[in-house]
Structure 1
Amino acid sequence: MTREKDLTRRRFVALGTGAAAAFASSALPAVAQENWPQRQVIVVVPFTAGGTTDMFGRIFAQAMQAKYGQPFIVENKAGAGGTVGAGAVAQAAKDGYTLLVGTASTHAIAPFVYKRLSYNPETDFQPISLFATLPNLLVVSPKMPVKTFPEFIEYLKQNSGKLSYGSSGVGASNHLPAEMIANITGTKMAHVPYRSSGDIMNAIAGGHIDLAFDNMTLAWPQAEAGTVRAIAVTSKDRSPTAPDIPAIAETIPGLDVSTWHGLFAPAGVPRPIIDRIAADVKAIYSTPDVQAKLKAVGAVASPNTPDEFTMFSAAERNKYRDIVRSAGIEPQ
């Protein structure tokens, strides 16, 4: 064999080896996507255990673990209105093994109430699917002499600066309604942040704070038990769970501060994995038992597609941007 032919043969061998290696490397991700999940999946809940967001995350994790036989571990990373946990997931590997239960707080409100975020809610995440939507419920201490929203407003005006309300932190979905009402009525209330909705309800029952605009999932059962008094919901319409409780919009037309919970992955996770998880969420949250469980606590199961959730999230950011500005909340 001549030297020229030998060099040509070696080049073809090298090209063939390189092509095989390239094919193998391109095929591996596809196999990984097809076989997902092959190991433990972390589902980050950016609030403490026992709260509303935690409940939605555990419904999803338990059903997924039962289906796939792999551990789906709920990991609570609370702090700064959910932004600590969200920031951690934004930096996670883009392989579908770390997911986030995001909320209106983390993905629609935070950009407008925090001067610095460790993540961009629009570009650092891939929305997968909504879990559910729900209103907040205005609840007050049973010791407060009000039973209707107009009575509450009058009492608030008479006691401006004397009442306190609880929330999960600045920018949380249970923080904005209180600031909006204070701004609309020209009154002041002391803001007391807590780590969870359970802590807020305990604080009202214990007489440590006067009221809260908290998620119905925990607030409504407490109202039914008599530990707090339900006054009104923050959605534009009454809740089918508590049809006798009026909407604030019946007194203040146009007011609508509902909240939502959904599943996100770090941006860049392969689309086949995203689509598979979205299909699983739809199956889980479409079952009659899950829908009944959610309705009992004031939530409405609302699974959708990744593209629909992306558009929904963008619209919510625009909506809450305007709400934050109208409430006069300064970024911190």
Structure 2
Amino acid sequence: MTALLRRRVLAASLALPVLALPGVLHAQGESWPTKPIRLVVPFAAGGGADLVARAISGPLAKRLGQPIIVDNRAGGGGTTGADAVAKAPADGYTLLYTTPGPQITNPYLMAKLPYDPVADLIPVARVAVVPNVLVVNKDLPVKSVKELIQYARAHPGKLNFASAGIGSSSHLAGELFKARAGIDIVHVPYRGTGPALQDLLAGNVSMAIDSIAVYRALIESGALKALGVATPERSPVLPNVPAVAEELAGFDGAPVNYISVRSGTPRAVIERLNREVNAVLDSAEVRSSLQASGVVPKGSTPQEMAAQVKSEAAKWKHVIQLSGARVE
């Protein structure tokens, strides 16, 4: 064998593993999973995130061919559950179903987290957007977002807004509205949506921005007035209610729900999981179920979700710094 021929044979043998790599990775993704999967929801059972997680877990389990066990790990504004996933094996068998808290807002609300939200967790797929709606007490003399802003400017410090607690979606959406509108309104935190809703109905607080699912029936009955949905476009659930963005361009105060895994999880597993999540979200049954409760199913690629986490973190960091909000 000549020297030239030996070099060609060697080069070809070195290239073989590289050429085979895509096929190997695809095989890894298709062979996963081989045992049950744990879907950690870092909030209490019965909440909005938990309900959406359970709505997709059954269909997703069927597509993957393995049971999915929903594991509610509430505590620390979502950090307890997120930490469990960040410290689990990076094998795709422990997933995090999350809202903005663990990776997007908690880093700016809390002095210290038990995990690195960027280095320890990788976004896999967006699942849904949960639209919020701006509602006011029925006796407040305003009929639109524009009138509310005008009223607040004419009565600085007199209006207040309720939230489910410091750092909650309803709190940060209210702070975003306050900042974008340039108004002076007072935040009143409660221990959950229930107590906030009761005081809003009683007129003890003026307004709130929270889930359409929570307020829809009260809006339709006339118990509360809806002034605007907190998504860039109108919601099909409340088609006659304008978007806040029609008055405040680009306003978006709706939390995103998505799935993350521990860093180091094989890329093939992430891609397989992403494909199956998107397939579930495209099914008519799941879409109909989620939309009926005011949730907008909305998938993504892993790259799109990672970019959204980055952009949302920048947005909410600014809002949190303006508000001075801290969670002890």
**Smaller-chain TM-score bracket:** 0.7 to 0.9
Structure 1 residues 295 and 263, CA, compared in 2 at 3 Å: closer, same or farther?
same
Looking at structure 2, the residues matched to 100 and 301 of structure 1 have their Cα atoms a distance apart, in angstroms, of 17
Q: Specify which of 184, 187, 194 is matched with residue 184 of structure 2.
A: 187
Q: Specify which of 319, 324, 327 is matched with residue 329 of structure 1.
A: 324
Looking at structure 2, the residues matched to 253 and 115 of structure 1 have their Cα atoms a distance apart, in angstroms, of 32
Kept after mapping to 2: 8 A contact 1:100/1:264: yes
- Aligned-residue sequence identity (percent) comes to 32
TM-score w.r.t. the length of structure 1 is 0.78
Partner of 2:119: 123
1:92 aligns with 2:88: yes
Partner of 1:9: none
Kept after mapping to 1: 8 A contact 2:63/2:276: no
Q: Which has the larger radius of gyration?
A: 1
Please report the RMSD computed on the Cα atoms of aligned residues, expressed in angstroms: 3.0
Matching of residues 215-234 of structure 1 within 5 Å: 215-234=211-230
Looking at structure 1, the residues matched to 185 and 245 of structure 2 have their Cα atoms a distance apart, in angstroms, of 21
Structure 1 residues 87 and 139, CA, compared in 2 at 3 Å: closer, same or farther?
farther
Partner of 1:136: 132
Partner of 1:320: 316
Structure 1 residues 201 and 330, CA, compared in 2 at 3 Å: closer, same or farther?
closer
- 1:203 deviates by 5.4
1:288-321 deviation line (CA, Å, top 9, x unaligned)? 1222233333333221222222222222222323
- 1:130 deviates by 0.4
- 1:200 deviates by 4.5
Looking at structure 2, the residues matched to 253 and 38 of structure 1 have their Cα atoms a distance apart, in angstroms, of 48
Looking at structure 2, the residues matched to 146 and 114 of structure 1 have their Cα atoms a distance apart, in angstroms, of 36
Kept after mapping to 1: 8 A contact 2:166/2:189: no
Kept after mapping to 2: 8 A contact 1:201/1:222: no
Partner of 1:273: 269
Partner of 1:108: 104
Looking at structure 1, the residues matched to 38 and 139 of structure 2 have their Cα atoms a distance apart, in angstroms, of 43
Structure 1 residues 331 and 228, CA, compared in 2 at 3 Å: closer, same or farther?
same
Looking at structure 1, the residues matched to 153 and 225 of structure 2 have their Cα atoms a distance apart, in angstroms, of 19
Looking at structure 1, the residues matched to 228 and 72 of structure 2 have their Cα atoms a distance apart, in angstroms, of 30
Looking at structure 2, the residues matched to 103 and 81 of structure 1 have their Cα atoms a distance apart, in angstroms, of 10
- 1:214 deviates by 0.9
TM-score w.r.t. the length of structure 2 is 0.78
Runs of 4+ deviating beyond 6 Å? 30-33
Q: Specify which of 140, 143, 148 is matched with residue 152 of structure 1.
A: 148
Q: Specify which of 27, 35, 38 is matched with residue 38 of structure 1.
A: 35
Structure 1 residues 105 and 223, CA, compared in 2 at 3 Å: closer, same or farther?
farther
Kept after mapping to 2: 8 A contact 1:52/1:218: no
Q: Which amino acid aligns with 2:323?
A: G
Structure 1 residues 207 and 85, CA, compared in 2 at 3 Å: closer, same or farther?
farther
- 1:138 deviates by 1.0
Kept after mapping to 2: 8 A contact 1:198/1:218: no
1:264 aligns with 2:260: yes
Structure 1 residues 186 and 149, CA, compared in 2 at 3 Å: closer, same or farther?
closer
The size of the alignment, in residue pairs, is 301
Structure 1 residues 298 and 32, CA, compared in 2 at 3 Å: closer, same or farther?
closer
Q: Specify which of 229, 242, 245 is matched with residue 241 of structure 2.
A: 245
Gaps (5+ residues) in structure 1?
Answer: 1-26
Looking at structure 1, the residues matched to 65 and 204 of structure 2 have their Cα atoms a distance apart, in angstroms, of 45
Structure 1 residues 63 and 102, CA, compared in 2 at 3 Å: closer, same or farther?
same
